[in-house]
Amino acid sequence: MSADDGIQPVNSREVTRDEAGRSGTCGALDPSTWVDAHGQVMYRYALARVTKPEVAEELVQEALLAAWRARDSFQGQSAERTWLIGILRHKILDHLRSRSRGVEDAASHSDWLEAFFDERGRWVRMPDPAAVRPDALLEKQEFWDVFHTCLDALPPRAREAFARRVLEQEETGAICKAMGITATNLWVILFRARTQMRQCLTLKWFNVADREAGGNESP
């Protein structure tokens, strides 16, 4: 393809330097092949997590550039793709973190609980088990747009914890370390994130409002 026109001189210099510098590593990096070899996977990875095509493109772009600039840190221990996806993951998390709606959760922890539970810890509104059929939703783009609207509405810390845990499947220990919080903090934050996400999605997507609790069913 057209990848080799402009990039060639720089690239061949790169290879020469590589041969001289670290001839032991298997395969020098060749950025001109990145887009063809990994662009598709990177783009889909980003698209699944941010939904908007233009944002996905921008993040892939940023990741490729960051990778190029940090090429000396590529150890050759991981596959090139794993390395690129790792950089992309950071860009996605940064992006999600930065989408702050200005609502910080410092003071509001007890507030949000009050919206869900009364003073005796009973549901203010009973969750209605509307039919959630995962397989039917997987391919619905509109659902994922709503998902991201709900994700954006979370307070920043909850959004970050949720993104790390659910979107990136990070181990809870690693999340605590990255966010500088205790495990107990994390459970509280994730509890909030999951509870609010569930409510937001059932309301916005399934059009199911939780029922007013009659007070007789919940113990």
Partner 1 sequence: MMINCKRAAELICQSLDRPLSLWERFQLRLHLWMCAGCKGFKKQSEALDRLLQMRFHDLAREDIETQLDGLPDEVCDRLKQKLRAAIEDDASSN
Binding site for partner 1 (CB under 8 A): 1-3, 6-7, 10-11, 13, 31-32, 34-36, 39-41, 43-45, 47-49, 53, 57, 60-61, 64-65, 68-69, 113, 116-117, 120-123, 126-130, 132-135, 137-139, 144, 165-169, 172, 187, 190-191, 194-195, 197-198, 201-202, 213, 217-219
The least distance separating partner 1 from the CB of residue 102, rounded to whole angstroms, comes to: 26
Task: Indicate the residue among 24 and 150 with the shorter CB distance to partner 1.
Answer: 150
- What string of DSSP letters covers 83-119? HHHHHHHHHHHHHHHH---S---TTTHHHHHHHHB-T
Asked if residues 59 and 94 have their Cβ atoms less than 8 Å apart, the reply is no
- Torsion (CA) 195, 106, 48, 191 in degrees, nearest 10: -30
If the CB atoms of residues 39 and 102 are measured against partner 1, the closer one turns out to be 39
User: What is the residue whose two structure tokens read 């059932």?
Assistant: 202
**Between residues 47 and 76, which has the closer beta carbon with respect to partner 1?**
47
Q: Which is nearer to partner 1, 80 or 102 (CB)?
A: 80
Query: Minimum Å distance from CB 76 to partner 1?
Result: 20
The Cα-based distances of 27 to 64, 120, 127 in angstroms read: 18, 64, 55
Closest CA relative to residue 93, chosen from 34, 173, 31, 179 = 179
Nearer to partner 1, 11 or 95 (CB): 11
Distance CA 179, CA 177 (A): 6
Task: Give the nearest distance from C-beta 159 to partner 1 in angstroms.
Answer: 14
Specify whether the CB–CB gap between 81 and 37 falls below 8 A.
yes
